[in-house]
Chain A
Amino acid sequence: MMKRRVKIASSAYRVLLLLKKLNEGDYSIDELNNFFYEDVHVKRYFSRDVILKYLNTLRDAGYDISKPSASGNHSYKLNNSRVNIDFSDEEIKILGLLRKYTKSLHQKRLFDNYISFIEKLKRFMSQARLKKLEKYFESREAESDDCFSKFDKYSGLIKKTEQYIDEKQRVEIKYKPSPKEDEKIALAELQNIKYEQEDVRIVFYNLLSGRIDSLKASQVIDIKQLPIVSKLNQLHSPVIFKVKDKLARVYRPYEKEKLAGPDDKGHITVTTYPEDMEALLKRLLRYGASCEVVYPRQVRDKMAFLVKETLENYKKNH
């Protein structure tokens, strides 16, 4: 049976479609016109004057829509909403705190995304709440605390790494595993930047070992871009380990870990792609006899070696 077509007010639909799109982002006249063309209920372009009339209707209804400017990328921007989100003082403080922390991570991507989130959120706030938010941002900005400056020393490296990740070029990383060791070089395709409590890690695909690897920012001396584009067909080698006994019932997988099982003995199998092999093995050692590395043989041997080496410490006289 043919579906009955719902009767709608076509021109009003177009006005409200503009409102819906401006609620999602800032757009130019041409972009808004493209939305009309792509919409199943419209499927055509309109003149600039018609779109301006629609925007004017929204303004008449009380929506604040900024005119396009060079600084605003020639886009129309919706500045208010009929929906009000009433944030408490505590919530306003958290929004300010998150802004400060985002800035302290020194990644342009994170900061820009957070700011655009805040800009959208502002539409849904009352004037009084907005004032409070701005005031809180200002007071937080003036604050200097160690927790906001601990990554400042890596700011240059983080920015450089972020840029190279964006540009998808291969890189050469010059690093020192420890202060006593000699400098080493790794040929790499950068993956991402990870933050730990006190450290920053540069995660990369090591072209020589064929593994995902990572270095602490403090170990990196320099990163140099090579004139070769990354091939995104990296083959990642997994590490598989078994989790047994009580631990199998409470195990919470880490990022990128996939669980299988439990088997008839109640054991679960975990597949992971480690970014730091040494850290993975030490973590698995913490699980004691409730964990066993099963694949690959090389990693299983490494685990056995780590256990043996640790046990040796207890055989010596102290």
Chain B
Amino acid sequence: MQKKNRRPNFYELDNVNLTALRILVIFDMLLKAPCDISEINEKLEKEVKDCKKLSRDTICIYLNTLRVLGCVISRPTKNNDFKYNLVSHPFQLSLTEKEVETLIELRKYFSTLCEWRTTVEIDNLFNKILENLTSSTQKLFQSAKKNILCREVTSEKFLRSIKQLEKYCKQNKTLTLLYKSPESGEKNITLNAEEITMENGAFYLWGYSDELETTMYLRVDRILDIKTVSLRHNKIERVFFKAIYKLKTGSDYPSLISEKDRMLERSGDEFIIETTVSNKFRFFQKILSYGSDCTVLHPEKVREEIALNLANILKIYDETALVSE
């Protein structure tokens, strides 16, 4: 006897594909949790009203259909209670190459803004999106990251939470860190944590080292562990010096100079700036990066050191290479 169609809204049996409906129900089940043949049958009978109990072979054909479409479904074994488990599927978020590139370009733009908190939040968001992408989009995403963010350090590389480090900076804590130095390998470094910054695509922890009597900056992605955290016992007796430099720019007051700088004088496009130097190496790098547009005026000792640096660079180049321009 033909079974009566009990589906109330089965107004047009011809207008839907029942097998597809059943497979979609199975897919929904697998999305929620692993399940076995009897659970699948139970659900199908409940959800698709005129669905009779299906044989193991039929269910296998349905699962194979999903597999051919790109779903990875593990086979039932003793270890997984004889349940089918959906490992991955192609119905996740799928983006075009252009969409992926735009996202990565935006991340790169944020690197130039040096806003480390927002950049970390963007990294976290992108990681969540990455987890929910189809495998082909994941590949596109990783490849765009490799090409466009080749210089950027992304926050998933941090072994210690940057937010935790920020907390220690705010609490004026003294930290002993296990640091992976590119020069001397793993070593312990003690510093009084001050602030986190982002420069040239990398995140840095700044702090004062009593031992070296200088402000240090460490790449956050190279901090392997926080060994000890303690309160500062004494007030830090900082060793720093004031320097004055002359900077010629083609525009107005340079917007990229730091808060530690103070303009003393201006004549046309030439500025005389006083600055507090807490890390001499960084200061030299900054001055040299302006080329001949910048000259240190004071102190004399620093002038001499920079001149010596320049003379050493000049030695590398053959004097005969100099051409008058």
Contacts and interface: CB of A to CB of B under 8 A. Distances in A.
B55 interface: no
B230 interface: no
Interface string B106-145: 1001101110001001101100110010000000000000
A280 to B, nearest CB: 11
Contacts of B98: 109, 113
B325 interface: yes
B201 interface: yes
B92 A83 contact: yes
B5 interface: no
A57 B200 CA distance: 53
Contact of B61 (A8, A19, A60, A81): A8
B23 interface: yes
Interface stretch (A29-37, A114-122, A160-168): A114-122
Interface class of chain B by DSSP: helix
A6 B31 contact: no
7 contacts: A6-B68, A9-B65, A94-B121, A105-B109, A306-B291, A307-B310, A308-B322
Given A54-B17, A87-B128, A178-B250, 17 more contacts: A6-B68, A16-B24, A57-B17, A61-B25, A82-B27, A83-B132, A87-B125, A94-B118, A101-B110, A102-B102, A246-B182, A249-B183, A252-B153, A252-B201, A282-B288, A289-B309, A304-B321
A218 B250 CA distance: 11
A130 interface: no
Interface stretch (A133-141, A207-215, A230-238, A309-317): A309-317
A285 B312 CA distance: 11
A91 interface: yes
Contacts of A283: 289
Contacts of A255: 148, 150-151
Interface in A1-23: 6-9, 11-13, 15-17, 19-20, 23
Nearest to B317: A304
Nearest to B107: A98
Interface residues on B, range: 35 or more
A276 interface: no
A20 B20 contact: no
A286 B289 contact: yes
A240 B228 CA distance: 44
B321 A110 contact: no
A309 B19 contact: no
Contact of A12 (B19, B94, B112): B19
Interface class of chain A by DSSP: helix
A41 B67 CA distance: 13
Contacts of B96: 25, 113, 116
A10 B298 CA distance: 82
Interface stretch (A65-73, A192-200, A220-228): A192-200
Contact of A102 (B93, B106, B129, B303): B106
B241 interface: no
Contacts of A95: 125
A81 B14 contact: no
